[in-house]
Structure 1
Amino acid sequence: MDNFKNLDNKYRRYKAHVSIFGTTQFHLRNPYIIAWWSAAFPGFGHLLLSKYLRGLVLFIWEVFVNYQSKINLALVHSFGGDIELAKQTLDTRWMLMYIPVYLFAIWDSYRTCVDMNKVYLLAEKENAPFNSFSIGALEINYLDKRSPFMSVFWSIFMPGLGQLHIHRIIIAFFSLVWTIAFLYFSHLLEAVHLLFLGEIQKATDILDKQWLLYMPSMWGFAIFDSYINTVENNKLFEKEQQDFLKRNYQNAKFRVNKGKVVS
């Protein structure tokens, strides 16, 4: 038992973990971009950091409270230049509740990103070995190289498919379920069908604008998340392969001095 504990605590920080649910890793991120995604839709910044539980709580809060306060509908009226109608649409009881959590999501995602960047630098310096292969009764996951273009391509078709392409199961399930909900309640696909039939006015009238305005953020997040994580997974695969070859095949006397190889 003591040997097992010592083995577990041999290293302080691990740069990545491969499980049947996906590949979770530390890598450098721009805190301002993470904060921007939290501003676009609370919860997205945390999901990009693989903070799934915190991100999901903030996401559900955004959907529920935004819907009750009618913020999206007020935005539509504002875009149309009808400021007075936008004011009348807002439910201030819910809107004033919405503001503190919205600001917290931006601040917390920025702070967490800065902290995780510091942890990444320490983990990179320690360079502890990590698992690159996971197999279970339900799934198999392993590090390999995949095309970022294909991740973006499938995410454009349907949010969540790009994440499935890189075996990011939790975010894939999350994206698919909520995209279905947004498409259903916004009546977007019905509007597209009517648009193909030339019924432009009917297509406009059938849309639920409150639900429709969730969609641009959802689609953009799915595309961005799948692209970034494909690129970072490819880097992780290359780094793990380099470390493996150095540990097992590189001559112990191999040195590089002032740009010259010495062996």
Structure 2
Amino acid sequence: MDNYTSDNTARRYTAHVSIFGTTQLFLKNPYIIAWWSAAFPGFGHMLLSKYLRGYALFIWEVVVNIKAHVNSSMIYSFQGNIDMAKEVLDTRWLLMYIPVYLFGIWDSYRTTVDMNKIYLLAEREEHRFNSLSLGALEVNYLDKRNPILSLMWSLFIPGLGHLYINRILTALFVIVWLVVFYYYSHVQEAVVLLFLGKVKEATSVINPEWLLFIPSHYGFASYDSYINTVENNKLFEKDLRKHLVENYQSNGFKILKGQKVK
């Protein structure tokens, strides 16, 4: 149940509110989106709310990276052990990894440029969209929320910041994969051993190949939840401003240049 049902007369819309989250168009820097795709394929597309493509690239990255031992090779190269870095790579998987990795960067950049153009056109149309969605499973609505809280909760556990702003699909995806990364990297066990002062055991128990996925995961969750909170706040203010002007402002109201409004 929505507080407004679109008649589909507009060519473009700036936002859509559903029980699963608020999806909106806003100007994005294509270089930043491409950078996130380079950091972890799929993240750039998820920042654009292109979830199916983002999920596909993300899962591809995890599976093929592990099979090709890309992370292990990176670790050896960081240590200066170039020969071992070459040795661990599985070229049967690596040759599939490279084209998809480059595609993710290129496609996210291209899509960002296109979506920025669509946003500018949608802004001119100024077509109305729903601001509240009421369902049997969830309630979602536009309001102002604190981006610092989104960032803070994401730093505690990636996905919590998205739950705070009701981006359910992203939250579930991020949390599920965080559990996978935690489990296979044994990072939680290592942290407990560190607290107990057992540094050597903590180092030996950890799986660095899976551990390298976690920093990007934390970074994406923090950045995405923060940015979307800021943009949701802007969308709320814009929607409220339009509502007040249309329903409460006199048609003859004018602000004259150089005069103060009392």
1:162 match:
161
Q: Secondary structure at the match of 2:200?
A: helix
Q: Deviations over 1:33-68 (max 9, x none)?
A: 000000000000000000000000000000000000
Q: CA deviation at 1:195?
A: 0.9
**Contact 1:65/1:98 (CA < 8 Å) preserved in 2?**
yes
Q: Deviations over 1:191-249 (max 9, x none)?
A: 11111111111111111111000000000000000000000000000000000001101
Question: Identity of aligned pairs, percent?
Answer: 64
User: What amino acid sits opposite 2:80 in the alignment?
Assistant: G
Q: Secondary structure at the match of 1:8?
A: coil
CA RMSD between the two structures: 1.5
Q: CA deviation at 1:259?
A: 5.3
1:27 match:
26
User: What amino acid sits opposite 1:123 in the alignment?
Assistant: A
Q: Secondary structure at the match of 1:172?
A: helix
1:8 match:
7
2:69 match:
70
Q: Secondary structure at the match of 1:167?
A: coil
For 1:198 and 1:123, the matched residues in 2 are separated by 58
How many residues in Structure 1 have an aligned counterpart in Structure 2?
257
Could you list the runs of 4 or more consecutive aligned residues of structure 1 that deviate by over 3 angstroms after TM superposition? Answer: 255-262
Cα distance 1:63–1:19, how it changes in 2: closer, same or farther (>3 A)? same
Q: Secondary structure at the match of 1:203?
A: helix
2:214 match:
215
TM-score by length of 2: 0.95
TM-score by length of 1: 0.95
2:3 match:
none
User: What amino acid sits opposite 1:144 in the alignment?
Assistant: D
**Contact 1:194/1:202 (CA < 8 Å) preserved in 2?**
yes
1:51 match:
50
**Contact 1:179/1:215 (CA < 8 Å) preserved in 2?**
yes
Name structure 1 gaps, 5 residues minimum.
1-6
1:117 match:
116
Q: Secondary structure at the match of 1:23?
A: strand
User: What amino acid sits opposite 1:49 in the alignment?
Assistant: L
User: After the TM superposition, which of the residue ranges 158-167 and 246-255 deviates more from structure 2?
Assistant: 246-255
Q: CA deviation at 1:252?
A: 1.0
**Contact 1:255/1:261 (CA < 8 Å) preserved in 2?**
no
Q: CA deviation at 1:254?
A: 2.2
1:236 match:
235
For 1:221 and 1:254, the matched residues in 2 are separated by 45
Q: CA deviation at 1:9?
A: 3.0
1:192 match:
191
Q: Deviations over 1:48-106 (max 9, x none)?
A: 00000000000000000000000001111111111111110111111111000000000
Name structure 2 gaps, 5 residues minimum.
1-5
For 2:258 and 2:183, the matched residues in 1 are separated by 61
